[in-house]
Chain A
Amino acid sequence: GAVVSQHPSWVICKSGTSVKIECRSLDFQATTMFWYRQFPKQSLMLMATSNEGSKATYEQGVEKDKFLINHASLTLSTLTVTSAHPEDSSFYICSARLLAGGSNTGELFFGEGSRLTVL
């Protein structure tokens, strides 16, 4: 299956600093990647859809100036949590879909997730 690599796996930062998380598709090209946030014992919440070469599409309630997404190439999307605060502490997961004949019926391939702790 396709491989999605996410880095870093763990990050601890001070309040007010910014943190960048990378998501790479290793053996396929992903024109679209998805960023999710997962709170403890809860499901995945879609934050935004990252589109290669264009602006990301954010879900309602997600601050685009807080969570900056850049999808500069077909294999890399980055999520930057700006001016992080303790309430931003969470597990962030990226994913990408293999398109079958241009359709959206393919499964998602997920990165290993990044646990952010803001002190």
Chain B
Amino acid sequence: AQSVAQPEDQVNVAEGNPLTVKCTYSVSGNPYLFWYVQYPNRGLQFLLKYITGDNLVKGSYGFEAEFNKSQTSFHLKKPSALVSDSALYFCAVTGGFKTIFGAGTRLFVKA
């Protein structure tokens, strides 16, 4: 069965500093991995995905993620955080037809 783990409930970072939000996964076969962001009382917005190809994937709003097959990880990164990046971030994996979401990591960026 497929699963996604986001080990951090919350990540705090100062504006301008790099940020990393961690994600590890478990899935049989090739993983289809995604990151989504959710602002309060809103639906989720797609940030980026890894299907195949380069391990470093670039997405919306300056975010990127690195697929590491040996460590079964797909960490979300941004070189320089903005206060407006503060939100809830979900890692997700699609295996078969269903998409399974991690528990979410709340990112706080302080000015």
Residues of chain A whose beta carbon lies under 8 Å from any beta carbon of chain B = 1, 4, 6, 9, 32, 34, 42-44, 46, 49, 91, 93, 95, 104-105, 107-113, 115
The answer to whether A104 touches B32, judged by C-beta atoms less than 8 angstroms apart, is yes
Is the Cβ of A113 less than 8 Å from the Cβ of B98?
no
16 A-B residue pairings within 8 Å (CB atoms): A9-B41, A43-B102, A44-B90, A46-B99, A46-B100, A49-B97, A91-B41, A93-B43, A93-B44, A104-B32, A105-B94, A107-B34, A108-B44, A110-B45, A113-B41, A113-B43
Interface size class of B (residues with CB under 8 A): 20 to 34
- Which residues does chain A contribute within 8 Å of B49, judged by CB atoms? 105, 107
A32 surroundings in chain B (CB, below 8 A): 97
A-B CB contacts (within 8 Å), total count: 55
Do most interface residues of chain A lie in helix, strand or loop, or is the interface mixed?
strand
Q: Which residues of B contact A46 (CB under 8 A)?
A: 98-100
The reply to whether the CB of B51 lies closer than 8 angstroms to some CB of chain A is yes
Q: How far is the CA of A27 from the CA of B104 in the complex (A)?
A: 29
